[in-house]
Structure 1
Amino acid sequence: MKETPYAWVVVWATFACLALIFGVSYSFAAFFESFAAEFSAQRADVSWIFGLSGFVYFVLGAGGGMLADRFGPRIVCSAGMALIALGLLATSWATSLLAVYVSYGLLVGLGIALVYTPSIASVQPWFTTRRGLAGGIASSGVGAGTLLVPVLVAMAIGPMPWREAMQLLALAVLVLGLLAAGLLKRAPSNASSGAGGSATGLSLRETLRSPTFRWLYLATVLASPVMFIPFAHVSAS
């Protein structure tokens, strides 16, 4: 199947989704000192929030993919964006660090899980000849969001209280996130497969038994602490 012009709409919508969710995730560093001061908390106690959020969205990301297979990426990613916005808003109202664990750690983490896998997985089925390029452009949203959103949040925290900055971030996720998620759509071939067509490639069970997958998974697990720990503490260093 030759890709249609809408395929590139999905690419850039995924770019925007990934930029938003990882921008929110790594904006935690900008709020680190505010959380510590507001709740008189130790650095280790505050860093657990980021760790909990990351744990939730990486563990439950597979579940987000399964839901997208059933309901489509638009519905699942929209629900994820709404959860992220709700989690950020609830965090802005938090009166204890425990409340932040629930609102930012669990709700935001769950929202990211519902956006991450479904959005990035929606790109490749639209393409046949330029899958690598399309996937590369879409996934670069992770880097763009990580670079820009925390900087913008840090700039906002200067002239306004952190709670108001958090509410502004929640509003941005709700508006921009729902707009981007609303553009996601299954590729026609993927939709026909879901309606009874035959899918190609390895099954989940075959993939889990593959030594290549196991080594890749192990490498990712071992590399993650080296990458994520500095993100949580960089602004407090």
Structure 2
Amino acid sequence: MRSTPNYGVIMVGIAFMLSTFAFGGLGSVGVFLKPLSAEFGWSRAEVSFGYTSMALSSAISSIFLGYIADKFGARRLALMGIVVMFLAMVLLSRMQTLWEFYLYYFLFGSLGFSAVGAPLMASVGQWFTDKRGLAIGVVAAGGAFGQGVFPFLARLITSGYGWDTAYYVLGVIFLILGLPLAWMVRESPTRIAAINNPEDHSAPQDHYPMKPAEVISWLGIAIIFCCQCMAVPIVHVVALASDMGFDPKTAASIFMVLMISGVFGRIAGGGLCDRLGALRTYALMSLGQTVSAIWFPQITNLIGLYGLAVIFGFFYSGVMTSLIVNLQVMTPPRMTGRAMGFGIFFGMIGMGLGGFLGGYIYDLTGNYTAAFAYASAAGVVNLCIIFVISLRLKGAITKMSSI
């Protein structure tokens, strides 16, 4: 499909909506924790592992699909992803055993979420130069919007009609609205040139202070700990609020507030990347995420929880946008798909570990205090790695300028 020079703005809108569906399905897991535990007798660690299954499958397949996106573009992958997400949700609505729960979420992550995630981010970022951070922030905001709206919708449907109907309705929404949008995905002229000439390394923009492998390795380690910090609140805040005595709809609304505030956090994070630089923005947002995560079990009144949800949602979402921008500005266009694929690989490992360990620590201790403390500890490790990356980057720039 041919591209037009001003199609980038349209691509931002398309990617925003597709991200809404993909992350909406990802974020809905926490809503089903207690209903599935009540019906099947599964522990919270067992149900949380469904999120881990989805995250790990996304991690592995994102690398492979990133390579495919670098060779063929994102459109066919987006179409496949929408169809697979629909099928996975329909299958989840009919499951009866724990292995089915894991298998269908594995399918959702491996060929659904990951087919929409990394390829789309790789595609959209290359449409822009001056405002790349802002464009990526808007697209990433779609994920936050989906993680706020779809879990709340799933909670409403579950309360009225059951968890099985909720899964089915989500799948139908993904299919009906997602397929036309996926069909409209296009690549930028820069990306098309990189796809058609993958071995051309002569372009000026193909020279960077750090080698792509080093960038991906350092950021990958940071991402693992960063995403553990964000995963515990994302997966467990609904169950935590329910344990405090709030009704299911109110508990789900806290999560919705967290995610909706993330819409602004992701856009603001992208704008800050354009002004402060991607790595500085990542450090700033990571600090806010780390400090706010530990307070969730300590605040027991509703207004305080809503306020904390706004703060955490803003910072954690800014982290996600700045990570994406870092991967894009520090690697060449010919490798954007692979860089995003590896970024999601490490991110999903961290998200999967955080989601599972949050439930596991809860099962060990009987409350969420230690689980959320663990989340903040992982955030501290992430901050230390960011400091090391900044030192390495300064050294590489100094060496390059002296040549």
SS in 2 for 1:126: coil
Specify every segment of 5 or more residues in structure 2 that has no aligned partner in the other structure, as ranges.
Answer: 241-403
1:206 aligned onto 2:211:
yes
SS at match of 2:67: helix
In structure 2, the CA distance between the partners of 1:74 and 1:213, relative to structure 1 (3 Å rule), is: closer
- Aligned mates of 2:62, 2:142 — CA distance in 1: 17
Asked which structure has the greater CA Rg, the reply is 2
| Equivalent pair of 1:30/1:153 in contact (CA under 8 Å) | yes
Taking structure 1 as the reference length, the TM-score comes to 0.90
- Structure 2: which amino acid aligns with 1:223? C
Cα deviations by residue, 1:180-222 (Å, 9 ceiling, x for unpaired):
222211112322332237365369x9311x2x54332211111
Q: Which residue of 2 aligns with 1:83?
A: 84
Q: Residue 132 of structure 1 corresponds to which residue in structure 2? A: 133
Partner of 2:160: 159
* 1:60-83 C-alpha deviation (Å, 9 max, x unpaired): 222221112223211001101111
Q: How high is the sequence identity, in percent, across the aligned residues? A: 27
Say yes or no: does 1:148 pair with 2:149.
Answer: yes
Is the 2:73–2:195 Cα contact (8 Å) retained in structure 1? Answer: no
Instruction: Let me know the Cα RMSD of the aligned residues.
Output: 2.0
In the other structure, the counterpart of 1:64 is 65
Letter in 2 for 1:94: M
1:87-106 equivalence runs, <5 A: 87-104=88-105, 106=106
TM-score (norm 2): 0.54
CA distance in structure 2 between the aligned counterparts of 1:96 and 1:38, rounded to whole angstroms? 11
What's the counterpart of residue 223 of structure 1? 226
Mark the runs of 5 or more structure 1 residues left unpaired by the alignment.
none
SS at match of 1:93: coil
Alpha-carbon shift at residue 125 of structure 1 (Å): 1.7
Q: Give the C-alpha shift of residue 121 in structure 1.
A: 0.8
Q: Residue 350 of structure 2 corresponds to which residue in structure 1?
A: none
For 2:223 and 2:191, how far apart are their aligned partners in 1? 28
Equivalenced residue count is 231
Please give the alpha-carbon distance, in whole angstroms, between the structure 1 residues aligned to 2:228 and 2:134.
Answer: 29
Q: Contact 1:89–1:170 (CA<8 Å) still a contact in 2?
A: yes
Amino acid at match of 2:212: T
Q: Distance in 1 between matches of 2:16 and 2:72?
A: 21
CA offset digits 1:123-171 (Å, max 9, x no partner): 1222233222212211211211112211111112121121111100000
Displacement after TM superposition at 1:4 (Å): 2.7
Which shows bigger deviation, 73-82 or 178-187?
178-187
Superposed structure 1 runs of 4+ greater than 4 Å apart: none
Q: Hey, what does 2:109 align to over in structure 1?
A: 109
Residue aligning to 2:310: none
Amino acid at match of 1:46: V
Distance in 2 between the 1:236 and 1:114 partners?
29
Report SS of the residue matched to 2:206. Answer: coil
